[in-house]
Amino acid sequence: MTESEARTRKERIDARLRSSVLGWTLIRSDEVRDCSSLTRHAVEEYPTETGPADYALFVDGKLLGIIEAKKVSLGAENVLEQAKRYARGVPDTVGEWRGYRVPFLYSTNGESIYHLDVRRKENASRLLADFHSPRALLEKYRKDTETAERWFAQRPVAEISRLRPYQAAAVEAIEKALCAGKKSMLIAMATGTGKTFTLVSSIYRLLKSGYARRILFLVDRRALAAQTVSALSAFQTPEGLKLDRDYEVYSQRFRREELEDGSSFDPKVLPEEYLTNPREAHTFIYVSTIQRMAVNLLGKDADGGFEYDTEADRLDIPINAFDVIIADECHRGYSAKETGCWKYVLDYFDAVKIGLTATPAAHTLGLFKNKVYSYSTEQAVLDGYLVDYDAVKITSDIHINGAFLKEGEMVGEVDVETGSEQLDSLEDEREFSAAEIEQKITAPDSTRKILTAIKKYTDRHEAEHKRFPKMLIFAVNDLPHVSHADEVVRTCKEVFGKGDDFVMKITGSPTVDRPLQKIRQFRNRPEPKIVVTVDMLTTGVDIPAIEMIVFMRMVKSRILWVQMLGRGTRLCREINKEKFTIFDCFDGSLIEYFRNATDFDVTLQKETVSLAEIIERIYDNRDREYNVNRLIKRLRRVQNTMGAEAREAFARYIPDGDMKAYADGLKENLQNDFPGTMELLRNKEFQDLLENYPRPKKVFFKGYDIVDTVDDEVMFRVGDDYQKPQDYLRLFEEFVRKNPEQIEAIEVLLSRPSGWNADVLDDLRDKLRKSHFSEKDLQRGHELVYKKPLADIISMVKHASDYHVPILTARERVEKTVALLAEKHTFTEEQKNWLAYIREHLIENLAISPEDFETMPVFERHGGLTRAKRIFGEAFDAILKEINESLAA
């Protein structure tokens, strides 16, 4: 760059300051007679004790800012030091902060703009998308954050009703970060823990305290925007008002199907002037999709990898339009384009940015920098706000080893363009890898056997809970004519045999009528019980009653895996949901793959650069070696997918249409004849052919003669590990043998049964649960390994210590105890009746205390503790002690 500083100032900086968005009036210092008359002026070469400042910004007679400018070829960030020097050398102005007499400093090279608010020592310089307008600078100067911070300290977060402890902690973490001067922060909360309600609570406090007036709530789906506005309108403030009655809440227009059934809120569309002409008097919350805001800033030609909001238009929006921006589900943006769009929108505004996610990724931390609060799924399960899950491993031979078709076997050849199917017998053997199953071939027998294996678990669930579990199945694809999702739906109807409405497909396919309404039907109505999807229900959908999630598609993204699991973690009081079950149909490989995945292990899909752009980069000698290699890889892809028709088309440009030979010789040709080689590569018709060459017609096979072998096995979760039943019980044995001194209940059961009582039993159950050995999991493990269903907790602990101890059910143990008691004592008929009540209680509880006679219905309805003591007399306490000791012996 040879551009001079004078030219940079004139053509870049002056133009920015004079723009209609900012509206500064430029004036030279020698033209100024009275600074108090300057209303919205940028004074050039403003004199200070240490030299002239390039620009001094005056608003209503107040010197509020200094800009130090350099030519475009120089870095702008370190130049702030020069602006600091000038800020110390001006005459007394609006105040003084550690020697600085101007509150707002800027440094720029006409492209990059760095800014520092010197009023707080903790503030650090940061990059801005633009300068502040005169009105924005004055508002910034007037803003009283100290009063807001005192309000935070004086008004406890707990005054918001229905706020759970961890949600209150998240709100407090936001406020603590704000008081520490943080401008970007990330809140990580597990799916299903009420992230939206938490942030709506924070929004109320930000507005009420005066910290913020204008808040932008960004989402990436219109349905989520509608859901958020609903949450805002339903929020009740501590003053007893609805939030949307206390403050203005705006959004965009919604289609009826995007709103919840029976939704009562009336969404108001934000007036454009609230964006283009922000004022201190405006206090509002604006819920917008990232797509709409990107169009407002960049225009409809911007490429963000999104399907853009066609109702939106480009607007001239200043950087101070919002005080706070909340980005919901900010982990999303799996491609570089999508993340780049999020980054542009967030970076554009001079606002506090708060990211909200269940699955923080590397790019998420890059956008929001400071993770100020985290509440994990594991902790939420321990606290009882989410449910844990069981894992079942489904082992399908063809999904591990692929499919081998022998000569003469019957296959269906499906034309992927028309859907027509032709039956044929193979003239030669064919082999398909595991990765090609459902991509190039489907095996109906495999789908049927996998679903039949799953049916064993739904049958058991139905027998135990008297209801069929809501089930979500993730299929590989939903492509026209060869849809795996359709195949799964058809097979589910056959295997489960409960009618057509029992199973439903919900995907983004045009053939799915009103998918959002179908999601609500799945959530709110008895049927469907089984929904098959691909990715539409992976995230952002709240269906608490889901009790089974089936992975029939491979997952490689940790973020996607956690989000998909999050469909099942939610509590559902209506059905007393205790946990849910995941089915890994890839031999447990998904469970194993994500077992040790860290919170930030994620890779973005690379941005796809067009062939034409790669060729232009080679022509301009921009990282030529890298881009030549990139082009050769693209040519290899063409080579691998060409047919005879494509070779004939390419023969007009390259010898014999031989793409392999052309790719092999490209580097040498560029070296020996760069102009001639580039002439062909830059030929628009040749480039179009490279992108749109005729592909051979694809054929999709149905392997009717393929016979799959499918097995299933329950997996037990211990922390981040998943264990087979035998290994799970082996870990339990190690736990029991290592902890008799640390856990009183184990020590009581193994060596001093006289100490057994209800408190010891409760403590044992709690300690085992926290160590990933819940009583139900242990019972299921003993049923699978020892064929002993409903083993009691005493037996399981004793057997873990000594294999010779028999495994009993609670009923067997109690019957044995009562029988021994009857042998030792002679009881009256009335006492025998009470022993029957005690027996009924013990089968459920395995220990008894005097307090139980006051609280348990089985005793209360017969007179409670007073009556029991009268019946047994002085022997009452001794009888209870003997019963407890006998149970534990």
**CATH number for the domain including 180?**
3.40.50.300
175 and 297 together in one domain: yes
818 and 767 together in one domain: no
CA angle 113, 119, 124 (to 5 degrees): 45
300 and 327 together in one domain: yes
Q: What is the mean pLDDT of residues 776-792?
A: 89
* Boundary (domain end) residue, out of 383, 398, 413: 383
Q: What is the mean pLDDT of residues 226-254?
A: 88
Q: Could you tell me the two tokens for 169?
A: 């902690």
What is the per-residue pLDDT for 746? 86
Q: What is the mean pLDDT of residues 334-360?
A: 78
Does the pLDDT value for residue 407 go beyond 60?
yes
Q: How far is CA 832 from CA 255, 333, 839, 844, in A?
A: 69, 69, 10, 19
227 and 359 together in one domain: yes
* Boundary (domain end) residue, out of 354, 383, 412: 383
For residues 554 and 382, give the distance between their C-alpha atoms in angstroms, rounded to a whole number: 29
For residue 190, count other CB atoms closer than 10 A to its CB: 24
759 and 880 together in one domain: no
What is the per-residue pLDDT for 343? 81
758 and 733 together in one domain: yes
Helices (H), 31-103: 80-88
183 and 238 together in one domain: yes
Q: Percent of the chain beyond pLDDT 90?
A: 52
Least confident of 105-119, 736-750, 754-768, 802-816: 736-750
837 and 778 together in one domain: no
What is the per-residue pLDDT for 11? 92
Q: Read off the pTM.
A: 0.75
What is the per-residue pLDDT for 365? 61
What is the per-residue pLDDT for 243? 92
Residues ≥6 apart with Cβ < 8 Å to 266: none
How many domains does one find in the chain? 4
> By residue range, what is the domain housing residue 818?
812-888
What is the per-residue pLDDT for 364? 57
Please, how many CA atoms are within 13 Å of residue 344, restricted to the half-sphere of its CB? 19
How does residue 210 score in pLDDT terms, banded at 50, 70 and 90?
A: very high
Does the pLDDT value for residue 249 go beyond 90?
yes
Asked if 260 and 520 count as a contact pair (C-beta separation under 8 A), the reply is yes
Does the pLDDT value for residue 596 go beyond 80?
no
Please, how many CA atoms are within 13 Å of residue 299, restricted to the half-sphere of its CB? 2
- How do residues 662-674 score in pLDDT, each as one tens digit? 999 999 999 999 9
Which of 147-151, 187-191, 223-227, 287-291 has the largest mean confidence? 147-151
- Which of the pair, 365 or 41, is modelled with greater confidence? 41
83 and 63 together in one domain: yes
For 456, the enclosing helix (H) or strand (E) is helix 444-465
- Which of the pair, 735 or 365, is modelled with greater confidence? 735
Q: What is the mean pLDDT of residues 361-368?
A: 61
61 and 129 together in one domain: yes
First-to-last C-alpha distance (Å) of the chain: 89
* Boundary (domain end) residue, out of 757, 775, 808: 808
Handedness of CA 615, 621, 623, 628 (dihedral sign): positive
Kindly provide the residue ranges of all beta strands, DSSP E only, lying in 410-505, ordered along the sequence: 410-415, 421-425, 430-432, 441-442, 470-474, 503-505
- Which of the pair, 261 or 775, is modelled with greater confidence? 775
753 and 873 together in one domain: no
Asked if 329 and 539 count as a contact pair (C-beta separation under 8 A), the reply is yes
Helices (H), 466-554: 484-496, 515-524
14 and 151 together in one domain: no
For residues 507 and 472, give the distance between their C-alpha atoms in angstroms, rounded to a whole number: 12
DSSP state string for 344-396: HHHHHS-SEEEEEESS--HHHHHHH--EEEEE-HHHHHHHTSB-EEEEEEEEE
